[in-house]
Structure 1
């Protein structure tokens, strides 16, 4: 972040703090909120590069917290393989620097991410459908990740539909997010879009993200996470709609 003007540096640090706070309260939302806000301040490719290390650090912690990682990895490996394939292939969109198209796509993903839990009923996926559905969901998630830097659609609704126990779900989300982050780093590197100075800035962004998570965990005990998450999703819906509509005006 040292290469940015002072005001931009403050805005980026503040964004990671708030995004970390949201993750501390709700258990998710850091990459989604960070990409949504940063995409309006800096280029999407730079925003995605900044996101890599804070996202990886927080998601490794989430993935490692629990005894079921091995069992979840064996169950979800077809989805993870699809995530890697789709992300590496889709990263060419971000690397192309077509910020207008990427911003519109990012806006659409934010709208879907926010609208689904607000409006849709919780779906259930029978275990017998996982062998063919998991790779499709993983590949679609990867393409969206490679094109927008956001790795929640359709992975999060799908994992929520697998009827996992609460702690298993949190760990499964951590696994999916970790694989997506690493795959995005590989994709951007192969496209020549991830430079050493991006890595330094991304490492510097870890501190405000972790500080935000710490603050969010404190707030979680004072503010109902369900109420907070509802208003967070409404705000994210508005942000996504603005990004989706603005280029058309």
Structure 2
């Protein structure tokens, strides 16, 4: 991405500021919002490259704040291996230049995530199934990440279904998101789709993302998280439908 125009800088900064607010209020959603908005105005591979640095910084902060990183890493390493493998394999879709189907996939991922969060009944995963399910969930998450740049499906519903304590859940999400971000960066670099100028612009997005998280933390105490979350997910659902329709009708 060589066109670092004032318009692009402004849109990128505002997008990550908004995404940071969502993450500050809800604890997640930065990559989902960023990919949804930027994916509507640029190729998904370019949007994914911009996502890397702010996503890594914010998720690493979330990961390191938790109480039991060592235990979670030992418990979920098969899932993390699956995420890496799936992302490296799926990154060929983002980097392949066929933006029609990656945009459609991004739209479907947003719709699936928003619909599940709005209307899905929270499933429960028995402990005896965690061993065989974790690698499969990781692989599926990685394929979605590599193909769309969004790494919440199916990792977030799965981790929620395990019934983890609140602090462990937040840290486990941070672990999954951090590994996904690193794997996505590696996959794009491997495919030659992660240029240095994109990395520079991605680094510039850290400041507005952190500012948004700070503001989101303030809003969390003043706005009902349930109300905010409901409107946020409804907007995400509409955005996903728009992206999918635009990609399909393009052909």
Using the TM superposition, give the Cα deviation of residue 238 of structure 1 relative to its aligned residue in structure 2, in angstroms: 0.4
SS in 2 for 1:103: helix
- Please show how residues 82-161 of structure 1 align to structure 2 within 5 Å: 82-161=82-161
Cross-structure match for 1:245: 245
TM-score scaled by structure 2?
Answer: 0.97
Cross-structure match for 1:202: 202
Distance 1:9 1:201 in 2: 8
Cross-structure match for 1:180: 180
**Deviation sequence 1:24-56 (CA, Å, 0-9, x none):** 000000000000000011111111000000000
Contact between 1:52 and 1:181, CA under 8 Å: does it hold in 2?
yes
Distance 1:172 1:153 in 2: 14
SS in 1 for 2:125: coil
Unpaired stretches in structure 2, ≥5 consecutive residues = none
Unpaired stretches in structure 1, ≥5 consecutive residues = none
Distance 2:228 2:236 in 1: 12
Using the TM superposition, give the Cα deviation of residue 2 of structure 1 relative to its aligned residue in structure 2, in angstroms: 8.2
Contact between 1:2 and 1:9, CA under 8 Å: does it hold in 2?
no
Shift >3 Å, 4+ stretches: none
Using the TM superposition, give the Cα deviation of residue 226 of structure 1 relative to its aligned residue in structure 2, in angstroms: 1.3
Cross-structure match for 1:233: 233
Cross-structure match for 1:70: 70
Using the TM superposition, give the Cα deviation of residue 6 of structure 1 relative to its aligned residue in structure 2, in angstroms: 1.7
1:4 counterpart = 2:1 = no
TM-score scaled by structure 1?
Answer: 0.98
Cross-structure match for 1:17: 17
Using the TM superposition, give the Cα deviation of residue 195 of structure 1 relative to its aligned residue in structure 2, in angstroms: 1.1
**Deviation sequence 1:77-123 (CA, Å, 0-9, x none):** 11100000000010011111111111100000000010001111100
